[in-house]
Amino acid sequence: MIRIPPVIVLAALAGLCIAPISRAQSLDTQRPVVRDALAAAEAGRLDGATSSAIVRHPLYGWVEFASLRRQIDTVSTQQAQAFLKRYEGQAVAEQFRSLWLAALARRQEWPTFLAAWKPTANLALQCADLQARQATGRTDAAWTPQAQAIWRKGAKSLPDGCDPVFNLLASQGGLAPALRWERIEAAAAERQTGVMRSAARGLPAEEAAQAADYAAFIDAIHPRALNWPKSERSRRMAAHGLARLAQSDPDTAERLLPQYADALGMGESERGQVLYQIALWTVASYGPDSARRLSNVPESAYDERLHEWRVREALSRGDWPAALAALKKMPPAQRADSRWRYFEARMSEKTGDRASAQRLFRETAASPTFHGFLAADRLEQPYALCAWIPNDPATAKQLVARDPAIIRAMELWQLERPGWATAEWNEALSRFDDTQRRIAVEVARDNGWFDRAVFSLGRQPDEQRLYTLRFPLHHDDTIKREATRHNIDPAWVAAEIRAESIFNPKARSGANAMGLMQVLPGTGAGVAKRWSIPYAGAASLYDSDTNIAIGTAYLREMEDKYGVPYVAIAAYNAGPTPTARWQSQRPGFDPDIWIETISYKETREYVARVLAFSVIYDWRLNGTALPVTDRMMGRVQAKRKAFTCPTAQMPKS
């Protein structure tokens, strides 16, 4: 059994863990002690003296949680129930409940499991609940449909803990062949052939063999499929297999499609599915057959993604009439997006329809986006930006800041516990109205937790205009100093930080990019050496001043190498090899068209995002902005532009 220090038990029984902290011992001064206590609890070294020092701290429950989590499989029922009661309604209780329920399921302590059960989206726990109800004789009319509903969610693999439930369901006749085929077909659409084979095991022998052959075809095209039954199911399975092949080998998929289509009687829908993938994986690298293969796809198979690629393919060839025709084939909602409305204006301009171009530019210029800013530049008019800066009473902010869950969230963020902080944050926001939620974002900003504005705003359209929240400024003295040193627009540096880390100095990517500007350690070491920036290893990248110094110097190197910022921004995101390919494929292209024809979706959107962010940060820093058309080209001395709020978009008071 896990041993909880006596002082924790006594304090908890006395209710001290939720008492307010004294003013003399502020949260700031106690933070190092709490940090050490959490580390000690996780290592099993928490002692009574450390516990007593923080027993009144708002995060005391998380210290207890850390102690209990370490040996969750040996926590007693009494300890667990006491913890859940003490922290009922708090995020820490629900975090613990999930861990404890999983431990109870492993031990098959089903009565205790059911006593602690609360509905959850966790499929493993849902299956454990079904198993517990069956084991304790509490199955009811809802049991079978609930188990079948989980089965239907299994287009991909389900938790192993669901297997006993499905075995029981099958033994009771609850997995009829039709239901098995339903999951097999869902798995086939996701190319999950292992799931297909598993779901087929309970089918009659002939059907199971057919399902296995379907799975084999999706794994690797084989000629046996030419003799499959000419059924709708066979046609769908053939389409899934050929579509998968098209993703790696569109040439072979195109060559084989007629054989299987004729043999199985594939219709437009199945053929279109394969032709779609053949075209997509050809045009994504602008292969020589791109236009032909796009034209082969029936219009009924087109979706927004392929509509976009049809436009880009024509743009990449400089075929402006074809690009305009492709734009006009887009669905109305897609065509009305500022990106495509801008390019429809550009193509109208290039094909001589100046009146349509001017009208479309005017419509697009009302959008505070990259393409809206480009459109305003074409019209030589100010940028449209309608900022909303609420004037809430101080008491409203104080009330939100004093919410216990918000206090805990802010402290956990300061202690670099983002997962726990987010759990507390989500619990608080589940109780808040729109005004409280917006004010909570302000509180988070004041505590250096800037990404809450990105992840918690936007439910209401007006919240998009909270620019001072959505585009925070921090370390601006360092940004300005390093930008001046390298003759780079400081708004560009701020925009890179916003795009890379949302001003989180401890950010770390899966590729090990670190800090505010997401610098790789190898890159950081090289840049630091070339520019004589003090550097003491990868950990230096978590120092904000060092990271900004290195990141800004690297931007200078990128611009020097590529000549213009818009290509430098692409290289900053994608690296030198794909950037060189894009340059060689489309030399001399207009910057806006070059950006739109970048083949990587992430990089294409990244370049547009950083350039738009740069305009907004210029507004934040200076009240005016370099025209984005000049900014892309590195013309930092260009005549600056003003901002205006069109009457139709005037912010609410």
Q: What is the pLDDT of residue 25?
A: 54
Nearest 5°: CA angle at 233, between 227 and 237? 75
Q: With 90 as the cut, is the pLDDT of residue 268 above it? A: yes
Residue type, 10: L
- Give me the percent of the chain exceeding a pLDDT of 90: 92
Distance CA 115, CA 98 (A): 13
CA-closest candidate to residue 384, choices 371, 397, 396, 394:
371
First to last CA, the chain: 59
Tokens of 100: 């404890």
Residue type, 284: A
* Residue with more model confidence, 6 or 512: 512
Residue type, 357: A
Q: With 60 as the cut, is the pLDDT of residue 651 above it? A: no
Q: What is the pLDDT of residue 50?
A: 87
- Whether this prediction's pTM lies above 0.85 is answered by yes
Q: Please give the average per-residue pLDDT across 234-240, as a whole number.
A: 98
Distance CA 500, CA 522 (A): 18
Tokens of 603: 């990089």
Q: pLDDT tens digits for 391-442? A: 889 999 999 999 999 999 999 999 999 999 999 999 999 999 999 999 999 9
Q: What is the DSSP letter of 157?
A: -
Q: With 90 as the cut, is the pLDDT of residue 615 above it? A: yes
Q: What is the pLDDT of residue 458?
A: 86
Q: What is the pLDDT of residue 73?
A: 95
Q: What is the pLDDT of residue 650?
A: 54
Other CB atoms closer than 10 Å to residue 14's CB: what's the count?
Answer: 10
Q: With 70 as the cut, is the pLDDT of residue 498 above it? A: yes
Nearest 5°: CA angle at 429, between 423 and 435? 155
Residue 648's pLDDT band (boundaries 50, 70, 90)? low
Q: What share of the chain is helix, strand, coil (3-state, %, to 5)?
A: 70, 0, 30
Q: With 70 as the cut, is the pLDDT of residue 544 above it? A: yes
Residue type, 63: V
Q: Please give the average per-residue pLDDT across 602-611, as a whole number.
A: 98
Q: pLDDT tens digits for 161-192? A: 999 999 999 999 999 999 999 999 999 999 99
Per-chain mean pLDDT for the chain: 94
With contact defined as beta carbons under 8 Å apart, do 347 and 364 qualify? no
> Where does 265-415 have alpha helices with state H?
268-283, 290-296, 304-316, 320-328, 332-335, 338-350, 354-365, 370-379, 394-401, 404-414
Q: Residue 390: beta bridge partners?
A: none
Backbone angles phi, psi at 288, to 5 degrees: -65, -25
Q: Which residues are catalytic?
A: 500
Q: What is the pLDDT of residue 12?
A: 44
With contact defined as beta carbons under 8 Å apart, do 126 and 120 qualify? yes
Distance CA 200, CA 196 (A): 6
Q: pLDDT tens digits for 89-139? A: 999 999 999 999 999 999 999 999 999 999 999 999 999 999 999 999 999
Q: With 80 as the cut, is the pLDDT of residue 13 above it? A: no
Q: With 50 as the cut, is the pLDDT of residue 1 above it? A: no
Q: Please give the average per-residue pLDDT across 290-305, as a whole number.
A: 97
Q: What is the pLDDT of residue 594?
A: 98
Buried b (16+ CB within 10 A) or exposed e, 402-433: ebebbbbbbbbbbbebbebbbbbbebbbeebe
* Cα separation values, 93 from 7, 79, 102, 382, 415, Å: 20, 12, 14, 53, 20
Residue 365's pLDDT band (boundaries 50, 70, 90)? very high
Other CB atoms closer than 10 Å to residue 384's CB: what's the count?
Answer: 21
The residues near 328 (Cβ < 8 Å, ≥ 6 apart) are 335, 344
Tokens 């861990």 locate to: 99
Q: Please give the average per-residue pLDDT across 641-649, as a whole number.
A: 82
CA-closest candidate to residue 358, choices 370, 342, 338:
342
Q: What is the pLDDT of residue 26?
A: 87
Q: pLDDT tens digits for 455-491? A: 999 888 899 999 999 999 999 999 999 999 999 999 9
Q: Please give the average per-residue pLDDT across 555-581, as a whole number.
A: 96
Q: pLDDT tens digits for 26-80? A: 899 999 999 999 999 999 999 988 888 899 999 999 999 999 999 999 999 999 9
* Residue with more model confidence, 389 or 262: 262
Q: Please give the average per-residue pLDDT across 542-556, as a whole number.
A: 98
Q: pLDDT tens digits for 251-262? A: 999 999 999 999
Q: What is the pLDDT of residue 181?
A: 98
Distance CA 558, CA 259 (A): 50
Q: What is the pLDDT of residue 110?
A: 97
CA-closest candidate to residue 308, choices 639, 20, 562, 605:
605
Distance CA 32, CA 52 (A): 15
Q: What is the pLDDT of residue 485?
A: 96
With contact defined as beta carbons under 8 Å apart, do 423 and 98 qualify? no
Residue 2's pLDDT band (boundaries 50, 70, 90)? very low
Q: With 60 as the cut, is the pLDDT of residue 502 above it? A: yes
Q: What is the pLDDT of residue 16?
A: 38
